[in-house]
């Protein structure tokens, strides 16, 4: 069940699905970071009445009511959320991969030799068709080159700059605007009921930590992601600093998710949210704890307002395939809750009116 | 500056210092776990007036007073504490090493072949002199054999059982009774002023997490330690579980401490407490953040009430040597605060009267 060892867990089919929507490899005007847009009252205002909303309400009631046989003490109230496709848009390509591709020109500026070396040459050509054909191995080279080799402070500043300017191809908005408003409301609702909310993502831990607090209200210490090593060293003036190393410590996807949860949290979640096969083991591990449990999967069935992919509603599994038919069957069998974006959510994004 | 790669960071000189005080390798009566004994009012009642207490009070005042130029927002108030020798007794041997040695008979029960294999044969012989002569490599074999290969739940239960019964050789008390009361008060004082307190230990993360909440008031998710990998799998009935693997992911000592802090917390501490060369890089990394900072080192200079070792007061450096003369010089040069157990602490343990 262990996934491959690629550092940032790129699903090649995802990458190839529609790279034509990739934004131009150039900076857009610098502007302020997005701020947390969770509801203040902890309500689920963007959710339609239905089994998904009801499952959340029932779970919270049974875990927080002291007279309930399923009452959970506050310190054990842990909820974990996958990010890509669960909290924000993952199609047509993971935002972090766009970041890496966007970084290549600056990398070639620093090291002009890269202009003649593949796969950097192809990325710099701007030839979309050729870029979509890059192999997984090529993509790994780009990820390692753009995500390691600098200090953690420089990386942090660079990601901040990019997030403030880069925009997606479809909505022409910052990536941090493409957060699912109903999921922000669930996080806030759980927090207002004493839960600690964690992000447990296959994406890079250092990448997500840059914006997790301002965008999701989740502090960096509550982000579990794919972890690369760092190396402690001293600058010439004696100041200590950490350098990001091309060394994989945890591939936080599939079986790596419960392993990462154990390493970083040391407690089993009571609630877990995902949207793909990469979240299967996290949901199984959550369920196995006994007592009141909430396992939810976001189904992308709304082509008009977001995207339509996955096994339900007769969609061909091969289209994207991250949410497999077998996971869908497992969810049905175990009474996990499948969230229909189309039916359960009044709106997808905060910039939309409630439908 | 990187330390060796031994899994649980055993200092051989420490081990050999006085293994004669090792308790008998047998269980003592089972009894309830120790409970948190932090003061409720957040005062520093076990501290004498002096520069160490004053440094703590000044630091908290300047970081929590909104009119102070050194004010730190609550979410950035991170304080990290080494454990062995900083929060509890580390002499004559780390408690976790005692645990591992105590586990060997049960291991041989499960796998009788071990009775004829070194170093297990020597440990089973009960010959103290031979045990003290075990090499670091032998000791690593014992650590791997006793700390890995079981489920995380079984490990947790086993450590709980041991802590409830095992007693140290000098005070004839449970190991979790040998916590430094003044340090518990500092942790509580910082927490009551909005700080998150973390343990950052060279000891095994899973080991310390078993008792961190009941003993220190530090939840498992705020324990950073030496990390071994786990492996996700399924029991025959389909239940998922995690097995502890003999694979080192982080040696949380020396340079590994700031690296571990970055991985597990993702923020730089404002305050750090240690007692040995293994804490040097953590204190340097903490100091380098700028703004109000508190770096403290516990000096073991109280042979009567605890132990006397380290560089100060003319003690020969070779006696134990974990707190080197060079660290002492660095602390003096940088105005880090050295805590004299003898002069700064009214009492060492909660079971003593204030002196």
pLDDT tens per residue, range B247-288: 999 999 999 999 999 999 999 999 999 999 999 999 999 999
Nearest by CB to A232, from B213, B227, B259: name it. Answer: B259
Pairing of strands A271-274, A240-250: unpaired
| H-helix segments, chain B | 12-17, 51-64, 95-110, 120-125, 128-132, 136-147, 152-165, 181-192, 205-209, 212-216, 256-264, 280-287, 325-333, 341-344
| Set of chain B residues whose Cβ sits within 8 Å of the Cβ of A200 | none
Is residue A132 in a domain? no
Residues of A in contact with B262 (CB under 8 A): 152, 230, 242
SS3 call for A117: coil
Interface A–B counts its CB contacts (< 8 A) at 90
DSSP 8-state symbol, A208? H
Is A322 part of any domain? yes
Cβ pair A56, A345 in contact under 8 A: no
Shortest Cα–Cα distance, A238 to chain B (Å)? 10
In chain A, which among 282-341 make CB contacts under 8 A with chain B?
284-285, 288
How many whole angstroms separate alpha carbon B36 and alpha carbon B211?
Answer: 10
Rounded Cα distance, B143 and B135, in Å:
12
CA dihedral B277, B280, B281, B286 (to 10 degrees): 160
The answer to whether B75 and B194 have CB atoms below 8 angstroms apart is: no
Asked whether residue A175 is assigned to any structural domain, the reply reads yes
Cβ of A106: how many Cβ atoms within 10 Å? Answer: 12
Residues 6+ away with beta carbon under 8 Å from A132: A15, A16, A19, A20
Check if the beta carbon of residue A146 is closer than 8 Å to that of residue A104: yes
Does A27 map to a domain? no
Nearest by CB: B266 against A196, A223, A262: A223
Q: pLDDT value at position A315?
A: 52
What is residue A32's DSSP assignment? P
The predicted structure's pLDDT at residue A91: 87
| B243–A contact, CB cutoff 8 A | no
Determine whether the interchain pair A264/B259 forms a contact, defined as Cβ–Cβ distance below 8 Å. no
Sign, Cα dihedral of B91, B94, B97, B98: positive
Closest CA to B185 of B300, B61, B347, B353: B347
Q: Kindly identify which residue of chain A lies nearest to residue B239, measuring between CA atoms.
A: A288
Structure tokens at A247: 């060394």
CB burial readout B16-33, b (16+ within 10 A) else e: ebbbeebbebeeeeeeee
Average pLDDT, chain A: 87
What CATH number should be reported for the domain holding residue A199?
A: 3.40.50.1000
B259/A227 Cβ within 8 A: no
CB B298 within 8 A of CB B339: yes
CA distance A47 to chain B (A): 30
Of all residues in chain B, the one with the smallest CA distance to A76 is: B219
Domain membership of residue B219 (yes or no) is: yes
User: What Rg, from alpha-carbon coordinates, does chain B have?
Assistant: 20
What is the C-alpha separation between B203 and A75, in angstroms, rounded? 24
Which residues in chain A show pLDDT less than 50?
1-40, 316-321
Residue in A199, A208, A221 to test binding to B, most B beta-carbons within 10 Å:
A221
Identify the domain containing residue B188 by its residue range: 38-92+171-344
In which residue ranges of chain B is pLDDT below 70? 1-42, 312-321, 355
Q: Are B259 and A221 a contacting pair at CB < 8 A?
A: no
* pLDDT at A7 (0 to 100): 41
H or E segment to which residue A338 belongs? strand A337-340
B73 in reach of chain A (CB within 8 A): no
| CA angle (B145, B150, B155) in 5-degree steps | 95
Question: Which residues of chain A lie closer than 8 angstroms to B264, CB-CB?
Answer: 221, 264
Structure tokens at B343: 């002069």
| B134 part of a folded domain | no
Assigned domain for B27 exists: no
CB contact under 8 A, A232 and B258: yes
Q: According to the model, what pLDDT value does residue A323 have?
A: 87
| Residue among A75, A242, A262 whose CB faces B242 most closely | A262
> How many angstroms separate the CA atoms of B50 and B55, rounded?
9
Q: How far apart are CA B265 and CA A352, in angstroms?
A: 35
- Provide, as residue numbers in chain A, all residues whose Cβ is less than 8 Å from the Cβ of B214: none
**Yes or no, beta carbons of B230 and A285 under 8 Å apart:** no
A155 within a domain of the structure (yes/no) = no
Residues in chain B: 355
The domain total for chain B is 1
């Amino acid at each position: 069940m262990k996934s491959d060892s690629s550092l940032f867990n790129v699903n090649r089919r995802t990458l190839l699905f529609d790279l034509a929507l990739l934004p131009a490899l150039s900076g857009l005007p610098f502007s302020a970071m997005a701020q947390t847009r969770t509801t203040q009252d902890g309500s689920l205002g963007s959710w339609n009445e239905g089994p998904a909303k009801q499952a959340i309400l029932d779970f919270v009631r049974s875990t927080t009511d002291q007279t309930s046989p399923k009452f959970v003490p506050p310190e054990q109230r842990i909820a974990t959320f996958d990010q890509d496709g669960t909290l924000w848009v993952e199609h047509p390509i993971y935002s972090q991969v766009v970041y890496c591709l966007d970084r290549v020109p600056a990398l070639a500026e620093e090291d002009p030799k890269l202009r003649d070396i593949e796969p950097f040459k192809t990325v710099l050509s701007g030839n979309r068709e050729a870029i979509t054909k890059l192999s997984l191995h090529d993509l790994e080279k780009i990820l390692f080159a753009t995500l390691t080799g600098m200090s953690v402070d420089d990386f942090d500043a660079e990601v901040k700059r990019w997030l403030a300017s880069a925009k997606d191809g479809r909505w022409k908005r910052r990536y941090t605007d493409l957060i699912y408003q109903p999921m922000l409301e669930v996080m806030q609702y759980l927090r207002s009921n004493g839960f600690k909310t964690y992000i447990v993502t296959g994406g890079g831990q250092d990448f997500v930590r840059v914006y997790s607090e301002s965008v999701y209200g989740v502090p960096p210490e509550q982000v579990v992601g794919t972890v690369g090593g760092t190396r402690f060293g001293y600058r010439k003036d004696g100041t200590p600093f950490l350098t990001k190393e091309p060394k994989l410590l945890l591939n936080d996807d599939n079986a790596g998710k419960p392993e990462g949860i154990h390493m970083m949290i040391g407690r089993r979640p009571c609630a877990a949210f995902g949207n793909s096969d990469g979240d299967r083991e996290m949901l199984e591990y959550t369920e196995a704890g006994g007592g009141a449990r909430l396992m939810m999967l976001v189904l992308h069935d709304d082509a008009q307002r977001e995207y339509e992919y996955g096994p339900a509603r007769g969609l061909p599994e091969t289209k994207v395939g991250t949410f497999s038919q077998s996971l869908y069957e497992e969810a049905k069998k175990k009474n996990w809750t499948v969230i229909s974006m189309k039916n359960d959510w009044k709106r997808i994004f905060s910039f939309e009116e409630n439908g």
